[in-house]
Structure 1
Amino acid sequence: MTQQGSRVGARFGPYRLDALLGHGGMGEVYRAYDTVRDRDVAIKVLHEKFAGDATYEERFRRECQAVAKLGEPHIIPIHDYGEIDGVLYLDMRLVEGEDLRARLRRTGAAIPGDAVAVVEQVAGALDAAHRAGLVHRDVKPENVLVTENDFAYLVDFGIAHQNDDTRLTQAGTAIGSLAYMAPEQFDGVPTTSASDTYALAAVLFEILTGRPPYPGDSVSSVVRSTVMSPVPVPSLVNPAVPPALDAVIARGLDKDPAARFGSAGAFAKAARAALEGHWPDGDSSATAVTGAGAAAYDPTVIGQRPPTSPYSGPQQFSGPQQFSGPQQFSGPQQFSGPMGYGPPMGTGPQGYVYEDDRGGNAVQVVLGVLIALLVSALIAMGVYWFGFRDSGDEKAAPTTTVTDVASQSDDPPEPSPSEVPSPPPGTVPCNGQVGVWGGVTSCEFAQNVYRAYVAGGPKGEPRVVRAHSPVTREGYTMTCAPETGVVVCRGGNNAVVVIM
């Protein structure tokens, strides 16, 4: 078997292989000179260990044919493909740059704007592939090539496959890189474009934080964390990450493929909108999960704000305060109901215009004057009662003053009950941020609810969030509403979380 890079300096058909640019699971990529067309190119050759393996040879040919049809600017164009001396090869445009893995090692975590810009470009390449019925299945930093002017390419479609074709995946073999594989890929189910979206979200997480979502020192630990652990929060790893991006990445990394964004482009669009401070309000990407025409507001999505003026909890029901008493009745004109005390040509209960044929207008005028005099008398009595009753009347009883002892204290008055945070009785605090009530909720789940709630906007707003339970390993929808200075979230299996 030929050693890695041993072809450097050798001739390969019409090509002179000048340098090894990289290698992957399927083959090696060389910087080469095409002696026939007099140009520098990149040549990818299939590993000799796969020679004669019909499965891998077919997969390699598929990469050539599929990518050659795409023509997307963020996918490197293919010049030619074929077989030389029994070895399959792919002739591509030579692009000067470094892969994203090398850049991360050199510069560390990127600023959010640069990270989202890279993801937007890769998403464009993925969407083009998905429209052609292809799933990449190996989206990772090593397969993102970035030029000096930050133009990104998605490379290495060597394990891409048609959505409806599972023949090329050997039984029991997980193809791809563990850190970026979606949970469903470990179950042997058919892989879809949602798996590529998950991988792209994992790449964005790593660009922002400098580490993959589920780091581990063994295959089993990475797989276990990917399948069972709660989705990590990037802003907790790197405080420079805007919290608005937490909810977008959490949805991209959702363990349920159906709960993720409907496309890689929708994920990138939401990330850009969050970065600019206007996601998910008015963001059409929310419709991508269920298709065209779906409502923009999805209450099962972490961090989504409800529509304008949603259910605002008890605050909408202002009780007796809405009825301001006699002040609403400003005179006879308002009594336009069955009594008939409306203006001339008034309207009855059904809205019909009527007149009293028996001198009704005169009666109405007289009654109006009497009512006006009555109202004036009531006002005069009120003025006397409140203004003059205790002022200069020598025969009035002496006024008795009752002094509240507490009012003589030098201490400031206690705040009103509405200003003091008042958790429901029986709330058990977890920390200074959250507490639980009812004995059926864990503090770990409460903390996840808190993170999802604050990722959606300021405290004190009603909001519906979805959070993952580390106990049941399932996601639950929680409805949060302000109550007496705190926010109470109810849902799941009778869970109650109190956000202080």
Structure 2
Amino acid sequence: MAETDRVGSQFGPYRIDDVLGRGGMGVVYRAFDTERDRVVALKLLNADLANDPTYQERFRRESRAAARLGEPHVVPIHDWGEIDGVLFIDMRFVDGENLRAVLRRDGSLAPTRAVAIIEQVAAALEAAHHDGLVHRDIKPENILLGANDFAYLVDFGIAHAETDTQLTQVGTAIGSVAYMAPELFDSDTVSPATDIYALTCVLFECLTGRVPHPATTISAAVKAAVLNDAPNPSAINGEVPQAFDVVIRRGLATEPAQRYPSTTALAEAARLALRDEVADADATTVIARPDVPTTMLAPPTIVPGAADPPAEYAAPQYFSPTRQPAPQYYAPYPTIPPEPPRRGGRGALPVVLGAAIAVVLLALVGLGAYWLLSGSSGGDSTAGPTTPTVTQTITPGDAAPQSTPTATTQAGPPPGATECAPGVAIGTSITSCPFAQAVRDEYLRTGPTGQARTIVAYSPVTGSSYSMACTPEGSVVACRGGNDALVYVY
């Protein structure tokens, strides 16, 4: 069945609504899961490859590899398996567009924005490498950007475990040639250094709007990658600091051992290059120009109103054309203002008692003086009555009347929510109360209540951390994210 023929049909519990894109192994659809009442991205294996054991194994491995990664920048896997002889993978439906569409529209990105995106993809790859997985297909098509440039890494369809048997046939190249490390052309050992090379290519393209080694044929691309050094990005784009030249040169080293030791080390070196600073060979020592300030960098520039990818683009997208608000990933947590000093507490009690005693003593002295004066006058009836004067000492700061705090009514969970503990409730049956309490504690810890911000909370149930976007909704704060979790804080 052609991919367009499935639109409007039922596939197991999924109602297929639209075609999102096509990858090397299958087609991605926007579908509705009728059992769980949610929109998902559904990937199905290509019909002509369904009987190929090699491709079937790649498809199953994509599911297993991505599903066990809890890193927030890896698109979550809901389910996978086989229905009616067709392999499928059910993924979160992400609103946004892929990096390829952004580069086709904008040409190149501001260095600050480029580094912010690379940092997020580097974090996703670091988690995969820690689990013994190599993506092997890092390219702009497989990087999705939500609002505020929250990046997701997708398509582990050719992900390779270092302990697995090589699945590629002899002479078959997997991945896009422009981002392939030289060792892949020789069917050499695949390692995390392969992804480091590809991620450096993506960084180069974000800075310059072109790949490091443009070529019209595979053979020309292979020769350029093996024999030629990439040009300096600062020579192509004058807005790129020269320190990026060193970063690109090391990340694209022909020998894997000469590249950065990890994707996060590459990202850290790129962050330093924004200030025109260069890290040493181990990415630990910083060599800074004396005329360059070392102030905190501003959050990346947000480009609103992103357009859809061009019609001729057919790579996997996993997104909706409609942009929706997403977590402000780069906004720093707001500082909690210091609590104002409390008035009328224990510290003010001695002062109040002292003032009261002074008033009583002055009153007694005045009354005694009145009696003495009355006795010495001899009862002269012409002397008018004397009224004692009492002087009251008022401590500065207590002249104004104390305000009585107004009692506030504690908000409760919205209708339909299940309360887990004081101040927290869950909005879906798949959200656990232990995770909801962790979300509440992290939200209260990171800033004032009633403000929108993104937090990362640890789930004691799954043993993983998840990004949650918290937004005020009336008297409660709704936190959404994780694996379709919904937590109310009030």
TM-score normalised according to structure 2 size: 0.57
For the Cα contact (< 8 Å) 2:241–2:276, is it kept in 1?
no
Letter in 2 for 1:205: F
CA distance in 2, matches of 1:45, 1:163: 26
Counterpart for residue 173 of structure 2: 174
1:57 aligns with 2:56: yes
Report if the CA contact (8 A) 1:231-1:254 is conserved.
no
**1:48 & 1:262 partners in 2: Cα distance?**
40
Q: 1:238 & 1:49 partners in 2: Cα distance?
A: 44
For residues 180 and 5 of structure 2, what CA distance do their matches in structure 1 show?
31
Q: Which amino acid aligns with 1:160?
A: A
Distance in 2, matches of 1:78 and 1:38, equals 16
> Following the alignment from structure 1 to structure 2, what is the Cα–Cα distance between the partners of residues 4 and 176?
22
Flag the 1:178–1:194 CA change in 2: closer, same or farther, 3 A. Answer: same
Structure 1 residue 307: deviation in Å? Answer: 13
Aligned partner letter, 1:208: L
The 8 Å contact of residues 277 and 288 in structure 2, kept in 1 or not, is answered as: no
- Kindly report which structure 2 residues correspond to 1:474-493, keeping only aligned pairs within 5 A, or say none: none
Kept after mapping to 1: 8 A contact 2:246/2:278: no
Query: For residue 219 of structure 2, what is the amino acid of its counterpart?
Result: S
2:38 equivalent in structure 1: 39
Tell me the residue number matched to 1:287: 282
Aligned twin of 2:73: 74
Aligned mates of 1:180, 1:217 — CA distance in 2:
14
Q: Deviation of residue 165 (structure 1)?
A: 2.1
One-letter amino acid matched to 1:287:
D
Is the 1:43–1:89 Cα contact (8 Å) retained in structure 2?
Answer: yes
1 CA distance for matches of 2:222 and 2:160? 23
Q: Does 1:242 align with 2:241?
A: yes
The CA distance in 1 between the partners of 2:9 and 2:116, in whole Å, is 39
Structure 2 counterpart of 1:233, which letter?
A: N
What pairs up with 1:19-418 in 2 under 5 angstroms?
19-280=18-279, 286-287=281-282
- TM-aligned CA deviation for residue 40 of structure 1: 0.6
Match of 2:455 in 1: none
- How much has 1:221 moved relative to structure 2? 1.2
Q: Is the 8 A contact 2:277 2:287 kept in 1?
A: no
Aligned length: 290
Find the counterpart in structure 2 of residue 468 from structure 1.
Answer: none
**Distance in 2 between the 1:5 and 1:103 partners?**
26
Task: String of CA shifts for 1:414-461, please: whole Å, max 9, x gaps.
Answer: xxxxxxxxxxxxxxxxxxxxxxxxxxxxxxxxxxxxxxxxxxxxxxxx
Distance in 1, Cα, partners of 2:287 & 2:250: 14
**What is the deviation of 1:263?**
0.5
* Deviation for aligned residue 1:179: 0.2
Structure 2 match to 1:391: none
CA distance in 1, matches of 2:138, 2:155: 9
Distance 2:232 2:4 in 1: 40
Which residue in 1 is equivalent to 2:14? 15
For residues 188 and 164 of structure 2, the distance between their equivalents in structure 1, rounded to whole angstroms, comes to 12
Q: Distance in 1 between matches of 2:36 and 2:164?
A: 37
Q: By how many angstroms is 1:246 displaced?
A: 0.9
User: Alignment partner of 1:6: what SS?
Assistant: helix
Q: Distance in 2 between matches of 1:242 and 1:166?
A: 42
- The answer to whether the 8 A contact 1:95-1:147 is kept is yes
Deviation of 1:148 after TM superposition, in Å, equals 2.1
Q: Deviations over 1:6-55 (max 9, x none)?
A: 32222111111111111110111111101111111110111111111111
Q: Secondary structure at the match of 2:81?
A: strand
Tell me the distance in 1 between the aligned counterparts of 2:72 and 2:83.
Answer: 28
In structure 2, the residue matched to 1:392 is none
Quote the Cα distance in structure 2 between the aligned partners of 1:84 and 1:30: 15
Q: Tell me, what secondary structure is at the counterpart of 1:207?
A: helix
> Offset at 1:90?
0.5
- Give the partner amino acid of 1:95: V
SS across alignment from 1:149: helix
CA distance in 2, matches of 1:40, 1:82: 18
Structure 1 pair 213–4 and aligned structure 2 pair: CA distance change class (3 A): farther
Report the CA distance shift for 1:111/1:226 in structure 2 as closer, same or farther (over 3 A). same
Tell me: CA distance 1:305–1:278, structure 2 relative to 1, closer, same or farther (3 Å).
Answer: closer
2:231 partner SS? coil
> What is the rounded CA distance, in whole Å, between the counterparts of 1:258 and 1:306 in structure 2?
25
1:73 maps to amino acid = P
Matched-pair contact (CA < 8 Å) for 2:213–2:221: yes
Q: Is the Cα contact below 8 Å between 1:166 and 1:190 reproduced in 2?
A: no
Shift of 1:167: 3.1
Residue by residue, what CA displacement relative to the aligned partner does 1:460-486 show, whole Å, maximum 9, x if unpaired?
xxxxxxxxxxxxxxxxxxxxxxxxxxx
TM-score, structure 1 normalization: 0.56
Question: 1:306 deviation in Å?
Answer: 11
**Max Rg structure:** 1
CA RMSD of aligned residues (A): 1.9
Identical columns (%): 59
Tell me the CA shift for residue 166 of structure 1. 3.1
Deviation at 1:235, TM superposition (A): 1.1
Larger RCO: 1 or 2 (CA < 8 Å, sep 6+) = 2
Alignment gaps of 5+ in structure 2: 291-490
Instruction: Classify the secondary structure of the residue corresponding to 1:70.
Output: coil
3-state secondary structure, aligned to 1:41? strand
- Using the alignment, how far apart are the partners of 2:7 and 2:250 within structure 1? 45
Aligned AA (2:24) = G
